[in-house]
């Protein structure tokens, strides 16, 4: 086999048939201007449209295209893991398929890499063509996660970034299931830098991230990088125990003073509901962590491929 390419461009794809030809054209335009060898890893994350056929067609006419076809939809996080697994480049660029991340910015990412940075992430300063709801939830998402987790997560970054081979090698060794890619790529350390950009509107199709997906991803990020929810459970426990400690002498004193308060069923009911609520919430929080532990313990693969190139890293040493 020929020597490893200098760059790998990885794109996770789920139902993006409207964008694929234009994506290929724009990426080729940018990468050909760089004048280094490169490969184009298109990961089909179980698309239900004809994305897979389009990818296969591209692979047939362009030998730089290496398709990784999943057996079903495993989610964007796992699609990117697969891309990293199969990549051979000395630097790897991860970018979305919908052209919201302008491929032209890759030139700047590469320039920073050549200066010696090992993680170069693109940071949006503006985003166009997205709904008010999406903007608000995205903003909130980053701020909440930044407050709660132990990592210093740069605000408003997505998948779009360049990773040096050293970083990729570290990241592919982490096989965690509930994965938060942008968190992990910060957590590993190395020399990191941001490159600002304006996020464009989608070229075609619609976002795959509903509010529900965003909440799920936030839970993954929070449980993946902090014990905050468990600490909240502990706090709630102390808080409710504290209330009852205050309530006992209060009731005794009032009773001795002859006040006829706190006799009704309502008081009992409220107390039972309150403590029951605290206990169930705490159990739920524990459950979230235990469920995640169980997923890790089962050790199932992060994704299953129907078709993929050799995972031969060849002469990358
Ligand atoms: N994607 C994927 N698997 C999924 C959902 C999305 O591979 O289950 C890909 C999608 O094709 C796109 C990228 O992840 O290339 C980002 O998705 P999207 O544009 O829907 O997210 P947004 O930009 O709205 O956050
Ligand atoms: Mg998008």
pLDDT by residue for the chain (317 residues), tens only, comes to: 457 899 999 999 999 999 999 999 999 999 999 989 999 999 999 999 999 999 999 999 999 999 999 999 999 999 999 999 999 999 999 999 999 899 999 999 999 999 999 999 999 887 777 777 777 887 888 888 888 888 888 888 889 999 999 999 999 999 999 999 988 999 999 999 999 988 888 888 888 887 788 888 888 988 988 899 999 999 988 998 898 888 888 888 888 888 776 667 777 888 888 888 888 989 999 999 999 999 999 999 999 999 888 876 544 44
User: Does ligand 1 come within 6 angstroms of the Cβ of 97?
Assistant: yes
Phi, psi at 95, each rounded to 5°: -145, 150
Kindly report the pTM of this predicted structure: 0.84
Answer whether 106's CB lies under 8 Å from 93's CB: yes
Residues in the chain: 317
User: Does ligand 1 come within 6 angstroms of the Cβ of 208?
Assistant: yes
Please give the torsion angle defined by the CA atoms of residues 36, 40, 41 and 44, in that order, rounded to the nearest 10 degrees.
Answer: 170
Q: How many CB atoms lie within 10 A of CB 41?
A: 26
Nearest ligand to the C-alpha atom of residue 141? 1
Which residue out of 9, 14, 136, 141 has the highest number of ligand 1 atoms within 8 Å of its CB and is therefore the one to mutate? 14
User: Does ligand 1 come within 6 angstroms of the Cβ of 87?
Assistant: no
User: Does ligand 1 come within 6 angstroms of the Cβ of 85?
Assistant: no
The owner of tokens 């003073």 is: 257
Answer whether 199's CB lies under 8 Å from 126's CB: yes
Residues with Cβ < 8 Å from 108, sequence gap 6 or more?
195
């Amino acid at each position: 086999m020929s020597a490893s390419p200098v760059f790998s461009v990885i794109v996770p794809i789920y139902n993006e048939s409207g964008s694929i030809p234009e994506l290929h054209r724009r990426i080729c335009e940018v990468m050909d201007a760089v004048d280094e060898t490169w490969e184009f890893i298109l990961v089909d994350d179980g698309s239900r449209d004809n994305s897979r056929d389009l990818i296969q067609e591209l692979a047939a006419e362009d030998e730089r295209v290496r398709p990784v076809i999943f057996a079903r939809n495993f989610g964007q996080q796992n699609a990117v893991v697969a891309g990293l697994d199969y990549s051979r480049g000395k630097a790897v660029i991860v970018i979305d398929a919908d052209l919201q991340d302008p491929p032209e910015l890759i030139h700047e990412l590469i320039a920073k890499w050549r200066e010696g940075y090992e993680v170069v992430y693109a940071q949006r300063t503006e985003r166009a063509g997205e709904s008010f709801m999406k903007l608000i939830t995205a903003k909130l998402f980053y701020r909440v996660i930044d407050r709660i987790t132990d990592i210093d997560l740069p605000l408003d970054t997505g998948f779009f970034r360049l990773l040096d081979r050293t970083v990729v090698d570290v990241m592919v060794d982490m096989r965690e299931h509930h994965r938060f890619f942008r968190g992990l790529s910060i957590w590993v350390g190395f020399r990191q830098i941001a490159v600002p950009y304006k996020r464009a509107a989608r070229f075609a199709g619609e976002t795959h991230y509903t509010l529900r997906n965003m909440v799920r991803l936030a839970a993954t990020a929070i449980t993946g990088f902090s014990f905050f929810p468990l600490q909240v459970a502990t706090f709630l426990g102390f808080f409710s125990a504290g209330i009852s400690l205050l309530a006992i002498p209060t009731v005794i004193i009032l009773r001795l003073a002859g006040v006829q308060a706190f006799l009704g069923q309502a008081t009992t009911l409220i107390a039972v509901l309150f403590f029951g609520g605290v206990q169930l919430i705490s159990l739920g929080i524990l459950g979230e962590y235990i469920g995640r532990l169980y997923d890790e313990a089962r050790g199932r693969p992060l994704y299953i491929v129907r078709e993929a190139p050799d995972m031969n890293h060849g002469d990358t040493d």
